[in-house]
């Protein structure tokens, strides 16, 4: 058995059946021989994004894997891994490495050295006989503690080395902790005594499969719930206690009640104040922080009570402690009434935008029509960077876990395309859609052909306003003199030339029907693109 065959067999033992990849690396051939399906991307960055989308949707299944060559392959994959790292996505990166005799020589690109800052763990297989131990450590890092990408680099002179025997490899089991009972009991006491408690849920709630427990705790406490962008869909956003996401944009009720909160329970979140993806907490609030990473505690805020443990296990014990303190009494519905009193006027204020008949159409009409004709429980939706992200986050209501992929600490244009393709591989029964602008399509759009070629029938929605609208305040002189913001292209025609189903829509009255036509086309096996001709919208909901 060769080292690469041993690696492929370990992937199969861990349950993997798909490899996102780009040649040339012999690991691809070994993986196919072991029974994995290769999905060959157009560029490595997007291939990593596909693996990231798969990993976030296929929760409970094996982690995703991406493999590529040394040198340019590893270099091109870096931004995708940086995004996965910033959003704590568990995926296995398998770069080929330069031969051991040359890997340390200047100026050779060495993955283990370069990727250390954007991975949870990196290791090189320098001794062929250690392949089993290295892979076991990698899967242990993928399955336990804070999520994140893990890298195993295999030098080209090692990957085809003959092994004396097959590695004795056992599948790595996930290990969880439930937190200190005394800390949880103190947290329950503080939450019950709070005047305006608020629950802030991150992506860790999704990874822990803890949405049911989060909802139960919110209802027992009658506490409002906000999520980070990454945590969007961890709490049903059609619930009377839902505030939506906090970060660069807010709902009116979310912004107001965050400011009023006197006790905040952050669960499954790092509580990193990030302008785009995570809310800045009021300094007057006391913070209870439940996380599986000790580095999060007291990082940016004084942690009144820190709880180290798995979100599902911690929430289960916390619910029982809260119920004990309430002694069977039910809290009134004053919080739901307060949320409604703030939410309803906000939606009324935005009604004209969301239902506008103006031409070119506003992207808010596209978002609203999508929600009108598509059941969010049947879809997986993601945004791209810039205007599409800021427009969709406050208004799109994700109702079931992992029905929305929020992201953005490392917010590279074009990431949403790969995420949606990977999501469709993980959940073939869902209508998987990415909303992106024309600038984002320009970054990664050719990987639409990857989905066509690989029979991955997702839907891309391009909001084409022929400019970078979000840059209007920042590029006034350059645009006035050189039209520096403007872009161009017929993306529906390009998608058709790439082998997909596409439509270009200019009439706002046809938005809903076009979306339904695209959904039917995906159900018939077609990769789809809808190009909506929109205005350069510059209005955002409570944008920070």
Ordered by where they begin, the domains of the chain are 3-155 (3.40.50.970), 181-339 (3.40.50.1220), 355-533 (3.40.50.970)
Which is nearest to 415 in space by CA: 443, 395, 387, 380? 443
Task: Give kind and range of the element (H or E) at residue 37.
Answer: strand 37-40
Which is nearest to 498 in space by CA: 490, 488, 506? 490
Task: Give kind and range of the element (H or E) at residue 3.
Answer: helix 3-13
CA distances, 21 to each of 11, 104, 288, 378, 447 (Å): 14, 25, 41, 28, 13
Q: Is 454 left (phi over 0), alpha (psi -120 to 50) or beta?
A: alpha
* Residues 322, 199 contacting (CB under 8 angstroms): no
Which is nearest to 50 in space by CA: 488, 451, 498, 507? 451
pTM of the model: 0.96
Spatial distance between the Cα atoms of 51 and 84, rounded to a whole number of angstroms: 9
Q: How many CB atoms lie within 10 A of CB 495?
A: 26
508: DSSP letter:
G
Task: Report pLDDT for 367.
Answer: 98
Spatial distance between the Cα atoms of 399 and 59, rounded to a whole number of angstroms: 17
Spatial distance between the Cα atoms of 53 and 39, rounded to a whole number of angstroms: 13
Task: Report pLDDT for 519.
Answer: 98
Angle separating helix axes 311-326 and 181-193, nearest 10 degrees: 50
The residues, ordered by sequence, that sit 6+ positions from 440 with a Cβ below 8 Å of its Cβ are 384, 385, 386, 388, 413, 414, 416, 417
Would you write out the chain's pLDDT as a tens digit for each of its 544 residues? 999 999 999 999 999 999 999 999 999 999 999 999 999 999 999 999 999 999 999 987 888 999 999 999 999 999 999 999 999 999 999 999 999 988 778 788 889 999 999 999 999 999 999 999 999 999 999 999 999 999 999 999 999 999 999 999 999 999 999 999 999 999 999 999 999 999 999 999 999 999 999 999 999 999 999 999 999 999 999 999 999 999 999 999 999 999 999 999 999 999 998 989 999 999 999 999 999 999 999 999 999 999 999 999 999 999 999 999 999 899 999 999 999 999 999 999 999 999 999 999 999 999 999 999 999 999 999 999 999 999 999 999 999 999 999 999 988 999 999 999 999 999 999 999 999 999 999 999 999 999 999 999 999 999 999 888 888 888 999 989 999 898 889 999 999 999 999 999 999 999 999 999 999 999 999 999 999 999 999 999 998 8
Cα Dmax for the chain: 72
The partner residues of 94 in beta bridges, in order of sequence, read 67
Q: Which two tokens stand for residue 100?
A: 């051991």
Q: How many CB atoms lie within 10 A of CB 124?
A: 21
The residue behind tokens 């990030």 is 274
Task: Report pLDDT for 398.
Answer: 98
């Amino acid at each position: 058995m060769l080292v690469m065959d041993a690696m492929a067999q370990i992937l199969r033992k861990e349950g993997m059946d798909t490899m996102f990849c780009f040649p040339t690396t012999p690991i691809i051939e070994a993986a196919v021989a072991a029974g994995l399906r290769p999905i060959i991307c157009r560029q490595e960055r997007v291939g990593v994004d596909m693996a990231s989308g798969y990993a976030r949707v296929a929760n409970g299944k094996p982690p995703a894997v991406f493999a590529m060559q040394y040198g340019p392959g590893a270099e091109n994959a870096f931004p995708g891994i940086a995004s996965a790292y910033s959003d704590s996505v568990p995926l296995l990166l398998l770069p080929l490495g330069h031969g051991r005799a040359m890997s340390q020589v200047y100026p050779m690109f060495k993955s283990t050295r370069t990727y250390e800052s954007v991975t949870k763990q990196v290791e090189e297989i320098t001794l062929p006989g250690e392949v089993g131990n290295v892979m076991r450590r990698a899967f242990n890092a993928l399955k336990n503690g804070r999520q994140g990408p893990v890298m195993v680099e295999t030098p080209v002179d090692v990957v085809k080395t003959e092994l004396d025997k097959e590695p004795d490899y056992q599948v790595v089991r996930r290990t969880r902790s439930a937190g200190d009972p005394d800390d949880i009991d103190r947290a329950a006491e503080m939450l019950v005594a709070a005047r305006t408690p608020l629950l802030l849920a991150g992506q860790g709630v999704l990874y822990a499969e803890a949405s049911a427990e989060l909802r139960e705790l919110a209802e027992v406490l009658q506490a409002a719930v906000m999520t980070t962008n990454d945590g969007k869909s961890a709490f049903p956003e059609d619930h009377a206690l839902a505030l939506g996401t906090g970060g660069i944009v807010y709902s009116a009720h979310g912004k107001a009640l965050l400011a009023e909160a006197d006790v905040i329970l952050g669960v499954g979140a790092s509580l990193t104040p990030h302008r785009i993806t995570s809310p800045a907490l009021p300094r007057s609030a006391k913070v209870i922080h439940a996380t599986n990473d000790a580095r999060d505690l007291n990082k940016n805020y004084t942690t009144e009570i820190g709880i180290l443990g798995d979100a599902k296990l911690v929430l289960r014990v916390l619910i029982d402690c809260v119920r004990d303190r309430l002694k069977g009494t039910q809290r009134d519905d004053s919080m739901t009434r307060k949320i409604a009193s703030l939410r309803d006027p906000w939606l009324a204020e935005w009604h004209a935008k969301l239902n506008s008949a103006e031409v070119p159409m506003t992207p808010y009409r596209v978002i609203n029509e999508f929600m009108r004709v598509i059941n969010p429980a049947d879809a997986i939706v993601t945004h791209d960077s810039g205007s599409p992200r800021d427009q969709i986050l406050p208004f799109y209501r994700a109702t079931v876990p992992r029905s929305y992929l929020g992201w953005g600490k490392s917010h590279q244009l074009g990431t949403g395309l790969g995420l949606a393709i990977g999501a469709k591989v993980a959940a073939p029964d869902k209508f998987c859609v990415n909303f992106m602008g024309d600038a984002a399509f320009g970054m990664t759009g050719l990987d639409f052909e990857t989905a066509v070629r690989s029979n991955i029938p997702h839907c891309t929605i391009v909001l084409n306003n022929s400019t970078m609208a979000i840059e209007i305040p920042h590029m006034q002189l350059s645009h006035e003199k050189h039209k520096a913001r403007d872009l161009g292209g017929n993306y529906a025609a390009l998608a058709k030339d790439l082998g997909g189903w596409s439509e270009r829509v200019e009439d706002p009255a046809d938005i809903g029907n076009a979306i339904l036509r695209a959904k039917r086309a995906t159900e018939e096996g077609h990769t789809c693109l809808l190009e909506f001709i929109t205005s350069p919208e510059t209005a955002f909901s409570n944008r920070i």
